[in-house]
Amino acid sequence: MDLPPSLEARRITALPPAAYYIADFITEYEEQAILHKVETAPKARWRQLTHRRLQTWPSDVVNDTLLDARPLPDWLEDPVVSRIFSIPLSEGGANIFATSPHQRPNHVLINEYPPNTGIMPHKDGGAYHPVVCTVSLGSSLCLNLYKSKEDGALEPEPVWRILQEPRSLLITTADLYSEYLHGIEPTSTDVDISEKTIANWTLLRSPSLYHNGINVRQTRISLTYRDVLKVSKLGSKIGPMFKRP
Ligand SMILES: O=C(O)CCC(=O)C(=O)O
Ligand SMILES: [Fe+2]
């Protein structure tokens, strides 16, 4: 892997503080291995929403609390977490989780987006430390960022768009976490893709794939790594009845 010397080297400078994009964060081999683990997880791991399904590891977050304090399984820890730890925020400095309560992501949400599915614009709220690490697998798509108006209403058009390629890592923090909403349009094709409209254009692996301005979606799986502030004291004592396999 040809990782950058720091996150700062891959900052999305068109955005307010702060977001980082690393196009080649994992290899194709690693992508396939993780996809295989996601696809072969016990059926009970999946939660089906109306348009989307998801898995949570090691458990759900309920009332802003992580129910189960077991460590993440190896396949979610390595290579992703170990690699996040290996990249300092700025050269010679500490990694991005050094100042988070548990000094590490303790929760992973896995979302599956077949074509024509998305996620409504939202904020991630107070359950998490404001550092969100998203690894994309399988397909590219656009993440839209929205400004909320004074009265809390949503501006209809996104203020920025980030194109997330397969095997990329996107990290959003600070104001981008707290002041803006993010969402994914439920479409089969992202349109109007260009240097002018995509905030991380200069950091893309393959901008030439979008020379016609469109991205035809395939199924994209995302892994969202965060540090949940509150972890249940019951932790590992929780009865096996209430645990997902
Ligand atoms: O899948 C993504 O990239 C976004 C997921 C998301 O925003 C969330 O689960 O809160
Ligand atoms: Fe979110």
pLDDT per residue as tens digits for the range 17-70: 999 999 999 999 999 999 999 999 999 999 999 889 999 999 999 999 999 989
The span from the CA of 227 to the CA of 118, in Å, is 23
List residues bridging with 243 in a β-sheet: none
For ion ligand 2, residues whose CB falls within 5 Å: 124
> How many Cα atoms within 13 Å fall on the side-chain side of residue 47?
11
Low-confidence ranges of the chain (pLDDT < 50): none
Q: What's the pLDDT score for residue 156? A: 79
> Closest ligand to 55 CA?
1
Q: Give the phi and the psi of residue 69 in degrees, each rounded to 5.
A: -90, 15
Atom 10, ligand 1: which residue's CA is nearest? Answer: 124
The structure tokens listed for 82 are 């170990």
In the reported structure, the alpha carbon of residue 109 is separated from the centroid of ligand 2 by a whole-number distance in angstroms of 10
In the reported structure, the alpha carbon of residue 53 is separated from the centroid of ligand 1 by a whole-number distance in angstroms of 12
The structure tokens listed for 78 are 């390595």
Q: Give the phi and the psi of residue 99 in degrees, each rounded to 5.
A: -105, 10
Q: What's the pLDDT score for residue 2? A: 87
Q: What's the pLDDT score for residue 244? A: 56
In the reported structure, the alpha carbon of residue 152 is separated from the centroid of ligand 2 by a whole-number distance in angstroms of 17
Q: What's the pLDDT score for residue 243? A: 56
List residues bridging with 142 in a β-sheet: 163
Q: Say if ligand 1 is within 6 A of residue 224 CB.
A: yes
Q: What's the pLDDT score for residue 55? A: 98
In the reported structure, the alpha carbon of residue 13 is separated from the centroid of ligand 1 by a whole-number distance in angstroms of 22
Q: Which one, of 194, 196, 143, lies nearest residue 168 by Cα?
A: 143
pLDDT, one tens digit per residue, over 217-230 is 999 999 999 999 99
Q: What's the pLDDT score for residue 242? A: 56
| Beta carbons of 57 and 76 less than 8 angstroms apart | yes
Domains and CATH numbers, the chain: 8-236 (2.60.120.590)
